[in-house]
With several copies, the nearest count.
Chain A
Amino acid sequence: MTSYVQDAINAVYVVAVLVFILGLKAMSGPSTARRGIVYAGAAMLLAVVVTFASPGLSNFLLIFVGVAIGGLGGWYWARVVKMTAMPQMVAMFNGMGGGSAAAIAAVEMLGHLSDLTSSSLSLAGAVIGSISIAGSIIAFLKLQGWMTSKPIVLPARQVVNTAVLVVGVGFGLYALVVLHTFWLLPFYVLLLLYGILLTLPIGGADMPVVISLFNALTGIAVGLDGFALVNGPLGDAGYAMVIAGVLVGAAGSLLTLLMAKAMNRSVSNVFFSAFGATEETGAAVQGQLKPIDAADAAIQMAYANQVIIVPGYGMAVAQAQQKVKELADLLEAKGVTVKFAIHPVAGRMPGHMNVLLAEAGISYDKLFDRDEINAEFPATDVAFVIGANDVVNPAAHRQGSPLYGMPILDVEQAKNVIVNKRGQGKGFAGVENDLFYRDNTRMLYGDAQTAVGKLVSELKKAT
């Protein structure tokens, strides 16, 4: 009997793994992405449900309570959270996965410390899972603004961090050797501490890369747990964990590298340089900032043939996307062609601008990639830069600049450039931007929401 049940369960796991892979594949193309996640979700549900039929389980009440709390909590939280808080949400749920992996490893080690192969694998899973949960929580706190998003740089941190890691792992290994579970306690404490220390010196703006890396790490932790459990209670479900975990581990590692590359950083640079803490580079810039007021800016845009709007991080923090949509609609009503130039790493997460503008109801076919739109700037009357800085910084063309090599939007070639920002704040990379000092550039100061709001009222008045 049990054998048939086991076969049926295994079949479900095999199918689930198949669908996960197909789902992930589908998720890497824009047109198939939604279908991918829905299928993967169905497969996951199935895999979780059949697990209840695994032979020898007890504790069903507790399991139900746990699944209910976590499931409803996660569902609710993810539904109500604002779109702009998505990155920290991903960080949080990812951390939960790492925590779960660490906890499973703990249960396993408490029960079967004597099986050296399994415990070693569990220990490895616990190391990685603990780092992932602690680090992810710090990332969450920083992005949520419950903790300064500035890099926090402790003295001698490389030495201290390494020491914490080594001593922590040492406690774990000692527990395996002397077969005494007590030593797992300091092991976990130190590993969690290490995760915190590792993440503190990283600035908020680097967080997408960090989250992606912790995501990959959690995958690996899950895979290691699966490894450890294959011969024990889990059987082939262990393989499903190994596959899903390693899959995410590999995919996530690659994604981390791609993300870092897209913003012209290296991963080790993100983790070990405390970028943004001290940096203040940039050659002295010639020229003057020339302000413009909302009325004049509105007139310039209203009489333009074509306006290209370049949104950046400032638009996101000011939540100005609705106003921007109104502005675009008004301009179009006046016969102006309005396009949006979207830089891939504008904002603070990949695809940030697309997500916000789409949310505000701006039609997707007005959004253009760098490659699609760069050639159009020379023929554009007004380029309106809203809270963007690095992605339009011509310093990227100059060797020696920290931005050197980053592909930028060639805004400076437009006939007129209007830049909205609050003051003289630098961009994420901390580099001066001489675009702002050019002859054809005017500065429209103020918070993006207010400033664009004023433009909107000016335009309405003019009608």
Chain B
Amino acid sequence: MAADIWTALFIALLAAFVGYEVISRVPVLLHTPLMSGSNFIHGIVLVGAIVALGLATTPLEDAIGLVAVVMGALNVTGGYMVTVRILAMFDRSKGKGGAP
């Protein structure tokens, strides 16, 4: 157990760096789609919710697990759709270069 926490810490540390580096030079124009896109990515919470509900044993756990799944699914599909729609607005950008 204890060892795995350390492993997870290594992972968290690296993930934080990656997240930071990836965003570090983004134009203001893309702040909103990027916020929405990263919103979509934490929709991975649905995976955790499925497992939690799948392993729930009492009715209370079932109920809370169901709430978790519904909310997770809302997050993931809504987040995806909103991002796609926002980015579709930028699609006319084709003409004008933009970042390399």
Say if the two chains contact directly (CB < 8 Å). yes
The chain A residues found within 8 Å of chain B, CB to CB, are: 3, 6-7, 10-11, 13-14, 16-18, 20-21, 23-25, 27-31, 33-34, 36-38, 40-41, 44, 47-48, 51-52, 54, 56-60, 62-63, 65-75, 77-79, 81, 83, 86-87, 89-90, 92-94, 96-97, 99-101, 103-104, 106-108, 110-111, 117, 133, 208, 211-212, 215, 218-219, 222-223, 225-227, 229-231, 233-252, 254-255, 258-259, 262, 344-345, 349-352, 354-355, 358-359, 363-365, 367
Q: What's the Cα separation between A3 and B84 when bound, in Å?
A: 37
Contact of B85 among A60, A83, A259 (CB under 8 A): A83
Q: What's the Cα separation between A28 and B83 when bound, in Å?
A: 13
Judging by beta carbons under 8 Å apart, are B11 and A243 in contact?
yes
Q: What is the number of residues of chain B that contact chain A, defined by CB distance less than 8 Å?
A: 96
Which chain A residues lie closer than 8 Å to B75 at the CB level? 70, 74, 93-94, 96-97, 100
Which chain B residues lie closer than 8 Å to A72 at the CB level? 77
Judging by beta carbons under 8 Å apart, are A6 and B39 in contact?
no
| Total A-B pairs, Cβ < 8 A | 444
Judging by beta carbons under 8 Å apart, are A355 and B66 in contact?
no
Contact of B37 among A3, A23, A111, A238 (CB under 8 A): A23
Which chain B residues lie closer than 8 Å to A248 at the CB level? 19, 38-39, 41-42
Judging by beta carbons under 8 Å apart, are A20 and B8 in contact?
no
Judging by beta carbons under 8 Å apart, are A234 and B14 in contact?
no
Residue of B nearest to A72 (CB): B77
Judging by beta carbons under 8 Å apart, are A215 and B35 in contact?
yes
Judging by beta carbons under 8 Å apart, are A3 and B96 in contact?
no
Judging by beta carbons under 8 Å apart, are B22 and A25 in contact?
yes
Q: What's the Cα separation between A30 and B93 when bound, in Å?
A: 8
Instruction: List 4 tightest A-B contacts by C-beta distance, closest first.
Output: A70-B73, A250-B19, A66-B69, A57-B54
| 14 sampled A-B residue pairs with Cβ under 8 A | A56-B55, A57-B55, A58-B55, A97-B75, A104-B49, A110-B58, A110-B64, A117-B2, A227-B12, A230-B4, A231-B1, A239-B7, A248-B38, A344-B28
